[in-house]
């Protein structure tokens, strides 16, 4: 297999910043439950163009309040160098030393003129290194099923390598449900001389219509057999959850058995689906999960 498991595996959780005070309060409870298994870190998404800047800061503060290490996401599209510099400074002042560096997507309706000073994530990685040296551990995004705007898989891989060559320490993939896509991508990266850990991103399935909408936009494929099964459950949420759980559990087992260097769980701010997977996979700390 590949070399991805040479070091200790990394398990992490992704959150998004809630829009309301009630959402933030609910998240505090889910974070407390998730933190029982002591993941390596929690990452917090960031709306492109700075649209969630303050809420991302607030979510990072919530984590700090519980003594948890966080990795805020930072996207460059729509921002100036000065704005990005201010955010980096803010995080260093908060003693945060891990960041997920992204390009982001311009919100629809914003013209190309709103693109900002840095066009691609590799430029953001280079800028973070220029400004802050090795102060941050930098993760970047990877796309085993190819980024939807890439002109070809080969070009996308070359562009991924640019991010690594600019100073990225590790990558987290877009979610996928086909383990072969991940292993083929990791193999291509190794042949291209890319040596950083490429941690698979895993999205638990709890709501089919939301997942289908999301997947169309980000280029993640839901295999036909899964779509057909999920569609056939209609509004039967319980069956969707059970089928989704079993499918994602099998995916995680294949990834870990095949040498993946960890798992990044897209929790969607819900503790239960991720903790159920964690428990059944027997990951470190599973015995501390309370029913
Ligand atoms: C783990 C993960 C976390 C995410 N978190 C967020 C988030 O918090 N907020 C958010 O808004 N979005 C987030 N996204 C979505 C992401 O912003 C989008 O997928 C976006 O379209 C691409 O971002 P990127 O950093 O991968 O871009 P890039 O790596 O810059 O790639 C974007 C496209 O441009 C091409 N490209 C890259 N570099 C070059 C170059 N130098 N020249 C020409 N073409 C190039 C690539 O092939 C690709 O098609 C996340 C995605 C992942 C996988």
pLDDT tens-digit series, residues 66-106:
999 999 999 999 999 999 999 999 999 999 999 999 999 87
**DSSP 3-state assignment of 125?**
helix
Give the chain's length.
291
How far does the centroid of ligand 1 lie from the alpha carbon of residue 235, in Å? 33
Q: What's the number of CA atoms in the CB half-sphere (13 Å) around residue 180? A: 2
**What's the 227 CA to ligand 1 centre distance in angstroms?**
26
> What is the rounded CA–CA span in Å between residue 218 and residue 195?
25
Q: Return the residue whose CA atom lies nearest to atom 17 of ligand 1.
A: 104
Beta bridge partners of 79: 116
Mutation test residue for ligand 1: of 98, 120, 156, the one with most atoms within 8 Å of CB: 120
151 burial type by CB count under 10 A (0-12 exposed, 13-18 middle, 19+ buried): exposed
Q: Which of 47, 159, 163 to mutate to test the pocket of ligand 1 (most atoms within 8 A of CB)?
A: 159
Instruction: Give 75 Cα–ligand 1 centroid separation in angstroms.
Output: 8
Which is catalytic among the residues 14, 123, 139, 145? Answer: 14
Confidence of residue 1 (pLDDT cuts 50, 70, 90): very low
- Per-residue pLDDT at 2: 52
> Average pLDDT for residues 36-50, to the nearest whole number?
94
What is the pLDDT at residue 217? 85
- Look up 221 and say whether it is catalytic: no
Residue closest by Cα to atom 36 of ligand 1: 159
Q: How far, in Å, from the CA of 242 to the mean position of ligand 1?
A: 32
Give which of 234, 209, 233 is closest to 222, Cα–Cα.
Answer: 209
Rounded-to-5 percentages of helix, strand, coil across the chain: 50, 15, 35
pLDDT of residue 165: 98
User: Predicted confidence band at 3 (pLDDT cuts at 50, 70, 90)?
Assistant: low
Mean pLDDT of all residues in 244-262:
98
What's the confidence (pLDDT) of residue 51?
A: 85
pTM above 0.85, yes or no: yes
Shortest-distance atom of ligand 1 to CA 155? 47
CA dist., res. 266 & res. 13, Å (int)? 6
The residue assigned the tokens 């190309």 is 112
Q: What is the pLDDT averaged over residues 56-65?
A: 96
Question: What is the rounded average pLDDT of the residues 233-260?
Answer: 98
Do 201 and 170 meet the contact criterion of CB atoms below 8 Å apart? Answer: no
How far, in Å, from the CA of 163 to the mean position of ligand 1? 10
pLDDT band at 49 (very low <50, low <70, confident <90, very high): confident
Give nearest CA residue, ligand 1 atom 18.
104
The pocket around ligand 1, CB under 6 angstroms, is made up of: 45-48, 73, 75, 100, 102-105, 120-122, 141, 147, 149-150, 155-156, 159, 162-163, 172, 174, 201, 218
Percent of the chain with pLDDT over 70: 95
């Amino acid at each position: 297999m590949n070399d991805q498991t040479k070091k200790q595996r990394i398990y992490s959780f992704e959150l998004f910043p809630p829009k309301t005070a009630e959402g933030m309060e609910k998240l505090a409870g889910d974070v407390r439950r998730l933190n029982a298994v002591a993941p390596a870190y929690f990452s917090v998404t960031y709306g492109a163009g700075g649209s969630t800047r303050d809420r991302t800061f607030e979510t990072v503060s919530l984590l700090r309040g519980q003594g948890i290490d966080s990795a805020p996401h930072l996207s460059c599209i729509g921002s100036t160098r000065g704005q990005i510099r201010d955010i980096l400074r803010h995080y260093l002042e908060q003693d945060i030393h891990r960041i997920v560096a992204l390009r982001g997507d311009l919100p629809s309706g914003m013209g190309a003129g709103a693109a900002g000073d840095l066009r691609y994530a590799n430029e953001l990685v280079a800028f973070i290194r220029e400004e802050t040296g090795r102060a941050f551990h930098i993760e970047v995004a990877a796309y085993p099923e190819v980024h939807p705007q890439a002109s070809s898989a080969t070009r996308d891989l070359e562009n991924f390598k640019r991010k690594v060559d600019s100073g990225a320490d590790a990558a987290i993939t877009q979610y996928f449900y086909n383990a072969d896509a991940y292993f083929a991508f990791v193999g291509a990266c190794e042949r291209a001389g890319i040596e950083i850990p490429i941690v698979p991103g895993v999205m638990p399935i709890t709501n089919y219509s939301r997942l289908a909408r999301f997947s169309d936009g980000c280029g993640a494929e839901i295999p036909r057999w899964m779509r057909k099964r999920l569609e056939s459950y209609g509004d039967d949420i319980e069956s969707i959850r059970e089928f989704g759980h079993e499918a994602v559990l099998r995916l995680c087992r294949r990834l870990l058995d095949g040498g993946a260097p960890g798992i990044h769980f897209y929790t969607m701010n819900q503790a239960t689906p991720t903790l159920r997977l964690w428990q059944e996979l027997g990951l470190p700390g599973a015995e501390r999960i309370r029913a």
